[in-house]
Amino acid sequence: ESEINAGKAARYSLKRLSKDNIRDMSRSLAKATHASPLVVYGTILNQIESYDNMVEVMVEAQRFSNPLGLDVLGFCILSRLSGTSGGVNRNRLKEDGVNVSQWLQSLEAFAGAFFKRYPFVEFRGILAYLMRRLREGHVMELGVLGSLLKVAGGYSFADYSPAASLSVSQLEGRAGSFTLKRETMSFGIVEAMNPIATDSIKKVL
């Protein structure tokens, strides 16, 4: 019964969640996660996989969750990727057989933003899973690893085109420090990075 009530409370808060009332709805979500975190976070991830424009709001909505609850959310992300929850062996490609499925794209974006915002959450498990999948020749989860490195790790400059399309200043910048690479590869627009998240990823890798 408690899980049913927690699921109802989560769905109620998610339906009303927006940037205008995020503080109040975040408190409601935090209360629900205390009782049944797996149920609530499963509902949240279902919402994210269906609506990719909810990623930033959902990340910010976890501001009142306790550390244990955030670790559970990290576990739920891993479970979604591995297929142990939310459907087994879901198709990672769209029907065209070329593009990545919507649910996986949304999960990639959320994983990067989540671990950037909450760098103290344990993510060795998800990195170990990604490394194992790559060793086995499965590359569909490569986008998740890229999101962790670019968004959480601050290595957004690694996503740019081959050297042939770079200007002279960008090529010279690539030979410089980490900060210089970010400055020259972002065309003067540098996204805010979380140094704690960057250091955490460096230590794990």
Query: Residue 177: in which H helix or E strand, if any?
Result: none
What angle do the packed helices 67-82 and 37-50 form, to 10 degrees?
50
Mean pLDDT of all residues in 137-162: 74
Tell me which of 9-13, 27-31, 191-195 is least confident.
191-195
Q: What is the pLDDT of residue 85?
A: 59
Q: What is the pLDDT of residue 71?
A: 93
Mean pLDDT of all residues in 109-119: 90
Residues 111, 114: Cα–Cα separation, whole Å? 5
pTM: 0.78
Q: What is the pLDDT of residue 70?
A: 92
**Residues 6 or more apart in contact with residue 151 via CB below 8 angstroms:** 109, 112, 113, 115, 116
* DSSP secondary structure code for residue 100 in this structure: B
Which of the given ranges, 43-57, 149-163, 175-189, has the highest pLDDT on average?
43-57
pLDDT band at 75 (very low <50, low <70, confident <90, very high): very high
The pair of structure tokens assigned to 97 is 């057989």
Mean pLDDT for all residues in the chain: 79
**Residues 6 or more apart in contact with residue 125 via CB below 8 angstroms:** 74, 75, 78
Higher pLDDT, 20 or 160: 20
Q: Does residue 158 have a pLDDT over 90?
A: no
Residues 69, 90: Cα–Cα separation, whole Å? 26
Higher pLDDT, 119 or 194: 119
C-beta neighbour count of 17 within 10 angstroms? 22
